[in-house]
A and B are shown apart, each in its own frame.
Chain A
Amino acid sequence: MRIKSQADFYSGVMFTAIGAAFAVGATTYNIGDGARMGPGYFPLMLGILLALLGAAVMFQSLVVETVDGDPIGKWAWKPLFFVIAANLAFGVLLGGLPSIGVPAMGMIIAIYALTIISSLAGEHFKLRDVLVLSTILAAGSYVAFIWALKLQIQVWPTFISG
């Protein structure tokens, strides 16, 4: 059988898989009955419902004709990787990660790292521009979040501020 809408088919697969996972997970909790619902009752119901909906979406994608087959298209691995990596680097540098021995480096360094890494996701990377941008963002964030809003965020590395 030919898939008539690729995007729909795989979203159906996703819904069914997630629904089934939730439903199976829910069975490890006490289900109870209608009058005395256990913690597993509602998730089990919803999980089954989601799995059924996913199946319906899959069925539809096999039956209903679309113009161009609704392809998912190429994955944009580059932006995906760099945006997520920038975010993770920000978290690691800001809070530190004792399990791999990275000390907390504070907000300013984390902002530079985030800006540089996320800029790699774009098409044209010019280090000078990116450094200017990170400096502006770091200064702006300091003024907005630390000075004006007084958020409790560590600004400098632990070994400097102590």
Chain B
Amino acid sequence: MELFHNLAIGFGVAFTFTNLLYCLVGCILGTLIGVLPGIGPVATIAMLLPATYALPPVSALIMLAGIYYGAQYGGSTTAILVNLPGESSSVVTCIDGYQMARQGRAGPALAAAGLGSFFAGCVGTLILAAFAPPLTELAFKFGPAEYFSLMVLGLIGAVVLASGSLLKAVAMIVLGLLLGIVGTDVNSGVARFSFDIPELTDGIGFVVIAMGVFGYGEIIGNLSQPDEEREVFTSEVKGLFPTKDDFKRMAPAVLRGTALGSALGILPGGGALLASFAAYALEKKIRMRPGEVPFGKGNIRGVASPESANNAGAQTSFIPLLTLGIPPNAVMALMVGAMTIHNIQPGPQVMTSNPELFWGLIASMWIGNAMLIILNLPLIGMWIKLLTVPYKFLFPAIVLFCAIGVYSTNNNTFDVWMVAAFGFIGYLFIKLRTEPAPLLLGFILGPMMEENLRRALLLSRGAWSVFVTRPLSAGLLVAAALLLGIVLLPAIKAKREEAFVEE
């Protein structure tokens, strides 16, 4: 079987002592930082990205995978224990997880999240290994027109995920695309919007925007709230493992969540957030067994299913990233950034030109996942202690990590000034209630979109019809239109709001 042969290559690469060590370190760091309230995987990866610069590419990506899983699980831990979602996808976990924690069942909730994620991760790894090659072949059929349409679909997908106004989300994407254009134009060599500043001719750094808008913006936003006490749950977590009854309820929910998450993750722009919301909605539709706790009051299914879906989606979202080179969400966009720093251009050619790297990464994803379970289940008690660090000590540390992280990307203080500017912009976004995640996606896709648009129109001699006459491209555009239509439907819109309002 080719599948197992490939996986064997991957495990051969990943299973070296040093790589396992990097994975472990990444996992620990990711969890440690991810568990801090308000810091999601995006910020964690952005912060720890510089730490991987000095490593060889395979080790760096393996460490990033560890960081990613660590951060994601750390975020769920915070969501369950203190009702603070570190990222948008753990918003759902908060609903029932926090209720369970209040009832002294934080242990089972954390275990359900961990075990569900692990199962979903295993399935996701297999799907990734089995379907990445055929999808890559599909990727070779993609011309510039198809890529452009696919990116349109991905960006529309990102819009679906934003919780607030649709129009504002679209505008943020366009703003991101424009920011991505700053710098030297690859075709003509003209430095665009650089105001004669030499550093700007290289474009704006992704880490600068991510740190400024997410890191500083969030901190300023948090500090502006009146000094209300954060409701930290410090009471002891009793009973680590779910009961037999819990397992009976959990198992089918985990299966459903995994299936749904895997399917959604493959779509560019889908990814983890949509997966967890969809899974929660699905669980609510399924009939209750007698004696089951209602949703919103601490139902273990409400934790297990979204968490599995989230993780499965996260895993399969590597497919569009690795095969098409299109980051489906902000975290993946960061991974693309990490790869390009190591001189790897993500896309179909990674698999053929660099099979060790490709399969090594897939294997390391699984290892990272397994490492996480081993690491976290026994250490739940310790994570809770971290949460008792008062915010007044926490935020200067976060400011420091952002500043050092940004400086070390280029060893240039210009980036430090830029991150200050983006910190202000991030706070402005909070004040104006515009969500920054779509902006980041647009920023990453901006240069690629322009490039493919240019090529497509060059080949068609300026005829825009090329996007609808090529069947694949037309199909993708239709899908994008459908997606947009679905979101615009009032019924679904109400549902979306309902899902966000729910407490």
Contact = CB atoms under 8 A, between A and B. Distances in A.
Interface of A: 7-8, 10-11, 14-15, 18-19, 22, 25-26, 29-30, 33-40, 42-43, 46-47, 49-50, 53-54, 56-57, 60, 70, 72-76, 78-80, 83-84, 86-88, 90-92, 94-95, 97, 107, 111, 114-115, 118-119, 121-124, 129-130, 133-134, 137, 141, 144-145, 149-153
19 contacts: A7-B431, A26-B192, A29-B185, A29-B190, A35-B458, A57-B167, A60-B167, A83-B423, A90-B407, A94-B416, A114-B400, A118-B395, A118-B399, A129-B393, A137-B400, A141-B400, A151-B408, A152-B408, A153-B411
Contacts of B416: 87-88, 90-91, 94-95
* Main SS at interface, chain A: helix
Interface string B388-399: 000111011101
B193 A57 contact: no
> Which of A15, A29, A60: most chain B CB closer than 10 A?
A15
B203 interface: no
B380 interface: no
B170 interface: yes
Interface residues of B, number: 65
B165 interface: yes
Given A50-B174, A91-B416, A123-B227, A7 B432 contact: yes
B424 A54 contact: no
Given A34-B464, A124-B392, A94 B407 contact: yes
A146 B393 CA distance: 22
B187 A80 contact: no
Contacts of B175: 15, 18-19, 50
Interface stretch (B216-224, B251-259, B260-268, B353-361): B216-224
Given A35-B461, A95-B413, A53 B174 contact: yes
B103 interface: no
B417 interface: yes
Given A94-B407, A153-B411, A75 B395 contact: no
B431 A121 contact: no
Interface stretch (B276-284, B336-344, B449-457): B449-457
